[in-house]
Amino acid sequence: MLLLVLLTLAAVPAADPCASVLPPAVLTAATNAYPGFRVVRGSDYSAEDLGYAKEDGFPCPGIASSDVDGDGTADFAFFLLSAKGAALLVSARIPPGSSIRIGMLMDFGRRGLGRSFVHPLDSGKYADMYAADSGPDDFTPDPGRVRGHTSRRPGFGAGTMEASEIAFFFTGRRWVHLWLSD
């Protein structure tokens, strides 16, 4: 009898650490805005990467929350994945008295999620690593990319573990980004 109980407990899958991070309304808005995509799951990451995120105080490396627009309501950045391996970093802002605003922050390509992460960034002064004279390469402008940004509100940092990180800040009108590491 004890063996049967132990086997039954072993067969029960562990709860997904990403499943409860997003409010249901955000999950619905995101999947409606991006049909064919699903929100990142804990099973998209190795146990090691989940452990590192948990050590840093984040239950899921692919979902982060912070009040980026200063309205007192948590906003989110998270990865959506397609069946073909495309990974999008999207934001969900929840203005009081308004519908959820879903928008793409960056297309991470068809390499799949791999070791991609997102986490809250503190407010402050940030500079694009390529904008400095001592930067590794020339600054190449693209839509929303800035040489530097001073933010009074927090933002999000996203990238690939042990490789790159890009900062994203909401200015009140639009999102801007800059490379912190590559």
pLDDT digits over 56-85, tens only?
Answer: 888 899 999 999 999 999 999 999 999 888
Query: Residue 44 gets which letter from DSSP?
Result: G
| Residue 168 belongs to some domain of the structure | yes
Residue 67 falls inside a structural domain: yes
Residue 10 lies in a domain: no
Residue 12 lies in a domain: no
Split at pLDDT 50, 70, 90, the class of 12 is very low
4 is a domain residue? no
- Asked whether residue 137 is domain-assigned, the answer is yes
Residue 3 lies in a domain: no
| Spatial distance between the Cα atoms of 7 and 118, rounded to a whole number of angstroms | 36
Count of structural domains, the chain: 1
Separation between Cα atoms, residue 156 and residue 118, nearest integer Å: 7
> Which domain covers residue 176, as residue numbers?
19-181
- Pick from 60, 57, 68, 134: nearest CA to 95: 68
Phi and psi, residue 79, nearest 5°: -95, 140
Tens-digit pLDDT profile for residues 118-162: 999 999 999 988 887 666 677 777 889 999 999 999 999 999 877
In this prediction, residue 135 carries a pLDDT of: 64
39 sits in which H/E element: strand 37-39
Q: Are 120 and 65 in contact (CB under 8 A)?
A: yes
Q: Average per-residue pLDDT in the chain?
A: 86
Q: Which string of b and e fits 79-118 if b means at least 16 CB within 10 Å? A: bbbeeeebbbbbbbbbeeeeebebeebbebeeebbbbbbb
Neighbours of 122 (CB within 10 A): 11
- Establish if 7 belongs to a structural domain: no
Q: What is the pLDDT of residue 129?
A: 87
